[in-house]
Amino acid sequence: MAKGLKPAGGMPADPPRHVLCVGAAVLDTLFRVHEMPRGEGKVLPYAMEQIAEGMAASAAYAVVRMGGRASLWGAVGDDEAGHRIVRELGQSGIETDGMVIVPGARSALSTILIDPAGERLIVPFYDHKLHETKRSCTPDDLAAFDAVLVDVRWPDMALDVLTMARQMGKPAILDGDVAPVETLERLAPAASHIIFSEPAARSLTGAGEVAAMVPLLQARYPDIFIAVTAGPAGCYWSEPGKDTLFFEPAFGVTAVDTLAAGDIFHGTFALAIAEGMPARQAIRLSSAAAALKCTVFGGRLGAPTRLEAETLLQRR
CA dihedral (304, 101, 122, 156) positive or negative = negative
Is 116 a binding residue for a copy of itself by CB under 8 A? The answer is no
Q: Rounded to the nearest whole angstrom, what is the least distance from the CB of residue 177 to a copy of itself in the complex?
A: 12
104 binds a copy of itself (CB under 8 A): no
- 3-state secondary structure string across 199-263: HHHHHHHCCCCHHHHHHHHHHHCCCCEEEEECHHHCEEEECCCCCCCEEECCCCCCCCCCCCHHH
Is 80 one of the binding residues for a copy of itself (CB under 8 A)?
Answer: yes
Report which residue type is found at 170. K
Least separation in angstroms between CB 256 and a copy of itself: 14
CA distance 199 to 186: 18
Work out which of 29, 163, 183, 295 binds a copy of itself, going by CB under 8 A: 29
125 touches a copy of itself (CB under 8 A): yes
115 contributes a contact to a copy of itself by CB under 8 A: yes
Q: Does 256 help bind a copy of itself (rule: CB under 8 A)? A: no
Would you count residue 109 as binding a copy of itself (CB under 8 A)? yes
Q: What minimum distance in Å lies between the beta carbon of 161 and a copy of itself?
A: 26
Q: Which H helix or E strand runs over 37?
A: none
Bond prior to 37 in cis (omega within 30° of 0):
no
Would you count residue 78 as binding a copy of itself (CB under 8 A)?
A: no
- Taking CB under 8 A as the criterion, the residue among 10, 90, 111, 255 binding a copy of itself is 111
- Round to whole Å and give the CA distance between 313 and 8: 16
Tell me whether residue 126 or residue 221 sits nearer to a copy of itself (CB atom): 126
> Closest CB to a copy of itself among 42 and 315?
42
The C-alpha torsion from 214 through 216 and 220 to 224, rounded to 10°, is 10
105 contacts a copy of itself (rule: CB under 8 A): no
Total of residues contacting a copy of itself (CB under 8 A): 29
Considering only the C-alpha atoms of the chain, give the largest distance between any 2 of them, rounded to a whole number of Å.
Answer: 60
Q: Is the peptide bond before 240 cis (omega within 30 degrees of 0)?
A: no
Min CB(45)–a copy of itself separation in Å: 5
- For position 42 contacting a copy of itself by CB under 8 A, the verdict is yes
Under the binding rule (CB under 8 A), the answer on residue 128 touching a copy of itself is: no
Are 30 and 112 within 8 A, CB to CB? yes
Among residues 6, 11, 14, 37, the one that binds a copy of itself under rule CB under 8 A: 37
Give the C-alpha distances (Å, rounded to integers) separating 211 from 14, 159, 198: 36, 28, 10
Binding site for a copy of itself (CB under 8 A): 29, 31, 33, 36-45, 48, 50, 80, 84, 106, 109, 111, 113, 115, 119-125
